[in-house]
Amino acid sequence: MGRRRRGKKIDGWIVLDKPLGLSSTAALGAVKRLLHPQKAGHGGTLDPLATGVLPIALGEATKTMPFIVDSTKEYEFQVCWGEERNTDDREGEVTHTSDHRPDARQIDAALGGFIGEIEQIPPAFSAIKVDGTRAYDLARAGKPPEMRARTVRVERLERLVGGEKHSDAEHTSFHLVCGKGTYVRALARDLARVLGTRGHVSALRRTRVGPFQISHAISLELLNDLSHSARAEESILPVMTALADIPALAVTENEADRIRHGQAVNLPTARSGTICLTHGGMPLAVAEASEGIVRPLRVFNLA
């Protein structure tokens, strides 16, 4: 007889509005202490100095996390001109300075060079592994690694206008839509260099991760209040939310039984690629279809 899991059987997503100063791991720990799920994980790290959307998968939703980690993300961030720092954000030590402050016209003219497929060197203070060691561990030990450039995708990058928080002589705010692996800190650093100055990220807020919008997000304070009643479950989004962009296909009871046992089924109408199989209106499995043959990749236990 298998060992019973500790915790509650909770399946779905909490979209946390991560507060300033808290690491993603600490935020995940706080949610686990409040809801006591059997299993949980976060979909995409946010630095402690960043706020905003941190999707947290509970129970069977953890099986859909790869689709969230690889999804498109949106940010609003602010660049402070005149100082480059070793962390590329306001937490680090100043390494270079400049007296030049770019104006709006110069900034707008430079943004086009950062849209599309671009080469980017990640910050030395990042979670990327270098010879088996996290880059930030090497950097903190005084041995910052030589980071290799990699290709990332920027769909949109625009200067924000209007409102006191958006711009002054020392700061400019931006809206960014980008693909996986894009470092906002590196983007700010490189933009400043192109503009003939230095810069670092002074504020960063993530407003979307895949299908999860900031409008879906809940604060830790509110989640704490709701956790003392049955209303906490009202904040949990369905497992299927993470699969909104994946084609869905309903299967029969016999087909569902084969899928549950990890067996392939013949579904001539299935479009080749990754699909979500459903049964009785509930997600059954993430599967791979090829020439009508569908093989389960991750089977859900949502009964």
pLDDT tens figures, 111-138: 999 999 999 999 887 778 887 888 778 8
Write down the pLDDT at residue 163: 56
Tokens of 96: 């270079």
DSSP code, position 17: E
Q: Which domains does the chain have, with CATH numbers?
A: 12-71+211-241 (3.30.2350.10), 73-209 (3.30.2350.10), 246-299 (2.30.130.60)
Q: In the chain, where do the E strands start and end?
A: 12-18, 40-42, 50-58, 73-81, 83-85, 94-97, 116-120, 129-130, 133-134, 150-159, 171-178, 199-209, 212-213, 248-250, 265-266, 273-279, 282-290, 293-299
The Cβ-side half-sphere exposure at 249, using a 13 Å CA radius, reads: 25
- Which amino acid, one-letter code, is at 48? P
pLDDT at 1 over 60: no
Q: Which residue has the higher pLDDT, 96 or 45?
A: 96
Per-residue DSSP letters for 31-99? HHHHH-BSSEEESS---TTEEEEEEEEEGGGGGGHHHHHTS-EEEEEEEEETEEETTSBTTS-EEEE--
| Residue 175, pLDDT above cutoff 80 | yes
Task: Calculate the alpha carbon distances from 287 to 40, 61, 270 in Å.
Answer: 22, 15, 10
Q: What gap in Å lies between CA 43 and CA 57, rounded to an integer?
A: 7
Q: What is the pLDDT averaged over residues 17-30?
A: 95
pLDDT-based confidence at 303, cuts 50/70/90?
Answer: low
Comparison of pLDDT for 129 and 165, the residue scoring more: 129
Q: Which of residues 232 and 290 earns the better pLDDT score? A: 290
| Number of neighbours of residue 123 by Cβ within 10 angstroms | 25
Mean pLDDT of 216-236: 87
Per-residue pLDDT band for 143 (boundaries 50, 70, 90) equals: confident
pLDDT (average), residues 52-70: 94
Catalytic residues: 47
- What integer pLDDT is reported at residue 165 of this predicted model? 61
User: What is the predicted pLDDT for the residue at 127?
Assistant: 76
Q: Taking 70 as the threshold, does the pLDDT of residue 164 lie above it? A: no
Kindly report, residue by residue over 235-291, the tens digit of the pLDDT. Answer: 999 999 999 889 999 999 999 999 999 999 999 989 899 999 999 989 999 999 999
Mean pLDDT of 135-155: 86
Instruction: Evaluate whether 185 touches 192 at the Cβ level (below 8 Å).
Output: no
pLDDT of residue 132: 82
pLDDT confidence tier of residue 161, bands split at 50, 70 and 90: confident
Point out the least confidently predicted range of 43-57, 89-103, 188-202, 228-242.
Answer: 228-242
Q: What is the DSSP letter of 167?
A: B
| CB burial readout 12-49, b (16+ within 10 A) else e | bbbbbbbbeebebeebbebbbebbebbbbbbbbebbbb
pLDDT at 86: 93
39-43, 163-167, 185-189: which is most confident: 185-189
pTM for the predicted model, two decimal places: 0.90
Name the residue among 287, 290, 225, 223 with its Cα closest to residue 259. 287
